[in-house]
Amino acid sequence: MRPENALSLLLIVLGAFFLPMISRRLRIPSAVGEILYGMILGEHFLGLISQDDFIRFLSQLGFAILMFMAGMEIDFNRLRPRAGGNLSLSLLVIFWMGLLGLLFWYFLDWKATLILGLGCVSIGLGVAFFKEHRLLTTPVGQIFLSIGFLGELGSIILLTLIELYHRFGTSSEIVIEVGKFVGIFLVAFIFMRIFRFLVWWFPHRFQSLIGGQDPLELGVRLSFALLFVFLALSTWLGVEMILGAFLAGALFSFVFREREQIMEKLNSIGQGFFIPFFFVVVGVSFDPRVALTHTSPFFFLSLLGLGLIQKIFPSLWLRLGKFTFRQILALGFLFSAPFTLMVAIAEIGLQLGLLSEELHSSLLLLAVVSGLLNPILSRRLFQPEIKLLKEKAEGKESPVFLGTSS
């Protein structure tokens, strides 16, 4: 390793350690802080961090673990159709988000990848927000999870289809590639059913995989084995890596419903080291001046406004679930900050030639701006719920309702 690369590795590791504490004091998401850190020390500003093959490998591994954990966040118990459940309402909201995205693409004639980056749904930032304010188990937190799970899965599927269309167009070869795409879902489904059946018949043997007192950490080993199996399968089938990693996480979530301890361990490994590499490296190559000088301020404001419209207006259907307009607006702001997936789509779009450097920078800048501002706006709108939980923790009474309006 050359001295300058050793310095880059040292700076990234030090940033991964100190940035969460600094971001917490500044009340910004740590991932946003990591991108800003990489941007300041990266190629286009101070030039202290450079990329070599080893750093790029760690970055890609961090990205794979990030998407694996996004798949693990899916709670299949909540997605079951049942009376009074959120599934039908969530599907309605997602349908209208997709319809608005289709209309934007048709009338604005923008690149499909840009529209997808604008309209994608990602739960990472929102889950952190709801956990921080202890709102995840409330009705408004549950409807966010339900819509977020469906939207994130749909966004990843659309990204893969756009990539296949870009590579093969309307030729007959795309039929084979779509068949491979469907094949990875069938393989995942078969694996899910087989593992779920085995867990159901031999619960005690599999308990050690998800228990917290296993010195061999078999659950962590199984998690990484699934991740790399599906990464290899995605590569072999010519499907984007992001889909394989996400499906591997979803498979683990489907088989092991009580997976909280494993998720804590993987979160320690991923967020503690590998995932920060991905966000810092994204910041290293990010030059906001490209977005600010090569695109007009009106274009960036259009991106910001259309992103809000695409998320807030469909969320009005939540009135059918008796959520208040204040809660709906707060959810709309959180849906409009799909930070993790927006960054991922921008990076993949640039690598595949689906986005120009200007559009890539605009999408990254939008991710940073919405990741900074939208949680603040949502926090203000959710203030009554946050205040109620605080008063309950202190043993006080309050007339505010956490769930839906009467």
Q: Does pLDDT of 8 surpass 70?
A: yes
Residues 33 and 371 sit within 8 Å (Cβ to Cβ): no
Q: Can you tell me the distance from the alpha carbon of 172 to that of 183, in angstroms, rounded to the nearest whole number?
A: 17
What is the pLDDT, as a whole number, of residue 329? 93
Structure tokens at 25: 């004091």
Q: Can you tell me the distance from the alpha carbon of 264 to that of 70, in angstroms, rounded to the nearest whole number?
A: 13
Residue 82 DSSP label: -
What is the pLDDT, as a whole number, of residue 83? 45
Structure tokens at 211: 């228990």
Counting every residue written for the chain, the total comes to 406
171: helix, strand or coil: coil
* Per-residue CA distances from 163 to 99, 166, 238 (Å): 20, 5, 10
Nearest partner of 97 among 329, 316, 292, judged by Cα: 316
Question: 3-393 is classed in which CATH architecture?
Answer: Up-down Bundle (1.20)
Check residue 294 and give left, alpha or beta (phi > 0: left; psi -120 to 50: alpha): alpha
Residues 38 and 281 sit within 8 Å (Cβ to Cβ): yes
Q: pLDDT-based confidence at 236, cuts 50/70/90? A: confident
Residue 138 DSSP label: S
Q: Does pLDDT of 398 surpass 50?
A: no
Q: What percent of the chain has pLDDT over 70?
A: 81
Nearest partner of 224 among 191, 277, 265, judged by Cα: 265
Residue 259 DSSP label: -
Residues 332 and 100 sit within 8 Å (Cβ to Cβ): no
Nearest partner of 250 among 73, 78, 126, judged by Cα: 73
What is the pLDDT, as a whole number, of residue 232? 82
403: helix, strand or coil: coil
- Mean pLDDT (the chain, rounded): 79
Q: Does pLDDT of 341 surpass 50?
A: yes
What is the pLDDT, as a whole number, of residue 264? 73
What is the pLDDT, as a whole number, of residue 192? 66
What is the pLDDT, as a whole number, of residue 3? 63
| Crossing angle of helices 173-201 and 218-237, rounded to 10° | 160
pLDDT digits (tens, 9 = 90+) for 250-266: 777 777 666 667 777 77
Of 32 and 208, the one with more pLDDT: 32
Q: Which of these ranges, 106-115, 140-149, 283-292, 314-323, has the smallest mean pLDDT?
A: 283-292
**Three-state SS sequence of 16-35:** HHHHHHHHHHHCCCHHHHHH
Region 315-341: mean pLDDT is: 89
What is the pLDDT, as a whole number, of residue 78? 60
pLDDT digits (tens, 9 = 90+) for 51-108: 778 888 888 888 888 888 877 776 666 656 554 457 788 899 999 999 999 999 988 8
**Which of 1-15, 55-69, 185-199, 259-273 tops mean pLDDT?**
55-69
pLDDT digits (tens, 9 = 90+) for 11-29: 888 888 888 888 888 877 7
Residues 384 and 400 sit within 8 Å (Cβ to Cβ): yes
Q: Does pLDDT of 246 surpass 50?
A: yes
What is the pLDDT, as a whole number, of residue 401? 44
Structure tokens at 385: 């719920």
Domain residue spans of the chain: 3-393
Q: Which of these ranges, 77-91, 298-312, 380-394, has the smallest mean pLDDT?
A: 77-91
Region 371-388: mean pLDDT is: 85
Judge residue 179's burial from the number of C-beta atoms within 10 Å of its C-beta, 0-12 exposed, 13-18 middle, 19 or more buried. Answer: exposed
**DSSP codes joined into one string, 171-229:** STHHHHHHHHHHHHHHHHHHHHHHHHHHHHH-HHHHHHHH-S--TT-HHHHHHHHHHHH
What is the pLDDT, as a whole number, of residue 400? 46
